[in-house]
Chains A and B, each alone.
Chain A
């Protein structure tokens, strides 16, 4: 058999994995490595020369107050969104698996916001806040009410609202899968042994759904941490740059102000945070597997 020769292995690997490996390397690996190099240069995006500046961009990133404010804002936004989304998603999943009429219809209905991209959703909600909300709140208050998008805390509140609205239906599906995976026999056994439905939920169902919780929480953290589309279309960072989040700051730093090196260094710090979150997820997930 020729199967153990080196040339056979190389040939097989290239035929089957070659195209995927080539494209993956071209758009992920090469830019990633080249990106690390760019963080040590002060490239302006136009000229051919990329002057080497050492660690100046990292020093600049640490000294960039706006960046850290945007970062703090992103963390705050992520915390609120993650908590609210998981609460709503869990509640929805509970309701649509409880056997009420039309639960399949509700399941597909709650998923609709997820089908639409962030840009379009942002503009739709901009209309809701600027026109519909103003009309309703104005009628109730009996005067003119400013749009939430024109006040500083209102804009952030609006971003959280839209994110929760957008993702609750998606996370709901993951929790539904979790609910389905817990066998009815276990719940019935708990009820027969004298648990109240609430106790059965807290002590049997929820601990067995641990995997769903870990997954939903990390999935939402990683999505929100780098949110950009909704931020751009709904608030555009306004009013007065008070709703600029980390991803938007990085984009502006690089493409608007043409500080490519600095922007790339700030993006790299963003990556480190994501990597830490990713590693934590693997760690927490593994630990849970052993316990269950």
Chain B
């Protein structure tokens, strides 16, 4: 009897907790839902009642093509894609290589200095680097307004964190004996790294890829300082510029905002397990 009562109480507790979770969940997705219901309304309908599911003038799709054209969506989307993919693809091998030489030669002065500087640099806020960055690469070398510059800068800013994570992974998970066996069999260090070590780093590669790709895709401040030409804009800069010009045309704004979040939401539907795992392990290790 007693245990049945306890069971009932537990069931009741779970129901209460489930309801609290549902309410909080609705709150978490509410802003996105509001954008989604308003994107199919005319400007006048949004102004009269932003909460109505369907406006008086009915369902409309015309906000999308206009916003896409004015935002140059496909160009901007392509720019974001190129920058994110290239920067992530360079960061991973470059930092894994650096971490490898640092872990295996921990007593070399160069290793100690480089790794020490990388770890220490993680407390530097971007604000302290932005003026000199513009001054050096804009004023002295004049290489701003180029995708390549932005990609290499993204890599430069993310290698310290990535090297740190690969350092931990190689240090704890990859036994030295494995490499020694390869050396005895006549493999060079370069070959050993690519054939033996790098494939074993897959979980860390996935984590670094997810964290960095999300950071590059969403970054605003650095791209806005580097890219001043309209045809090079990435999604965050384009959204900002779009809002500045069309903020009164609220229907278009809704469409632009939905377009800005759609790619990453679609990706999340397919990769959510990996993204959640990657971000958690990245945060816990970092």
Say whether B35 faces chain A, with CB atoms less than 8 Å apart.
yes
A148 to B217 CA separation, bound complex (whole angstroms): 30
Among the listed A35, A135, A177, A250, which residue makes an inter-chain contact with B132, where contact means beta carbons less than 8 Å apart?
Answer: A35
**Would you give the shortest CB distance from B108 to chain A, in whole angstroms?**
6
**Would you give the shortest CB distance from A223 to chain B, in whole angstroms?**
10
Say whether B181 faces chain A, with CB atoms less than 8 Å apart.
no
Using a CB-CB cutoff of 8 Å, which residues 209-224 of chain B contact chain A?
A: 214, 217-221
Say whether A165 faces chain B, with CB atoms less than 8 Å apart.
yes
Judge whether A27 and B276 touch: CB under 8 Å: no
- B residues in contact with A201, CB < 8 Å: none
Judge whether B118 and A24 touch: CB under 8 Å: yes
A16 to B110 CA separation, bound complex (whole angstroms): 12
Interface string of A235-265 (1 = CB under 8 A from B): 0000000000001001100100000100110
Say whether B59 faces chain A, with CB atoms less than 8 Å apart.
no
Judge whether A131 and B163 touch: CB under 8 Å: no
Judge whether B125 and A28 touch: CB under 8 Å: no
Among the listed B108, B114, B260, B276, which residue makes an inter-chain contact with A111, where contact means beta carbons less than 8 Å apart?
Answer: B276
Given contacts A92-B24, A100-B17, A127-B35, contact A173 B276 (CB under 8 A): yes
Given contacts A9-B105, A20-B95, A100-B21, contact A34 B28 (CB under 8 A): no
Judge whether A117 and B124 touch: CB under 8 Å: no
- B residues in contact with A92, CB < 8 Å: 21, 24
Given contacts A119-B239, A124-B35, contact A19 B268 (CB under 8 A): no
- B residues in contact with A284, CB < 8 Å: none
Among the listed B94, B98, B128, B159, which residue makes an inter-chain contact with A267, where contact means beta carbons less than 8 Å apart?
Answer: B128
**Would you give the shortest CB distance from B39 to chain A, in whole angstroms?**
11
Q: With a 10 A CB-CB cut-off, give which of A17, A21, A43 has the most chain B CB atoms.
A: A17
Given pairs A120-B235, A127-B34, A275-B123, 12 additional interface contacts (CB within 8 A)? A12-B101, A34-B135, A43-B135, A101-B18, A108-B268, A112-B32, A115-B268, A119-B218, A119-B239, A123-B243, A165-B27, A170-B279
* 26 A–B contacts, CB within 8 A, in A order: A12-B101, A16-B100, A20-B163, A27-B129, A28-B124, A28-B156, A31-B136, A34-B136, A35-B132, A100-B17, A109-B25, A109-B29, A116-B264, A117-B235, A117-B236, A124-B32, A124-B34, A165-B31, A169-B28, A215-B284, A225-B125, A250-B127, A254-B130, A263-B131, A267-B130, A275-B123
Q: Which residues of B contact A (CB under 8 A)?
A: 14, 17-18, 20-21, 24-25, 27-32, 34-35, 38, 46-47, 49-51, 94-95, 97-98, 100-102, 105, 108, 110-111, 114, 117-118, 121-133, 135-136, 152-153, 155-157, 159-160, 163, 189-190, 193, 214, 217-221, 235-236, 239-240, 243, 250, 253-254, 257, 260-261, 264-265, 268, 272, 275-276, 279-280, 283-284
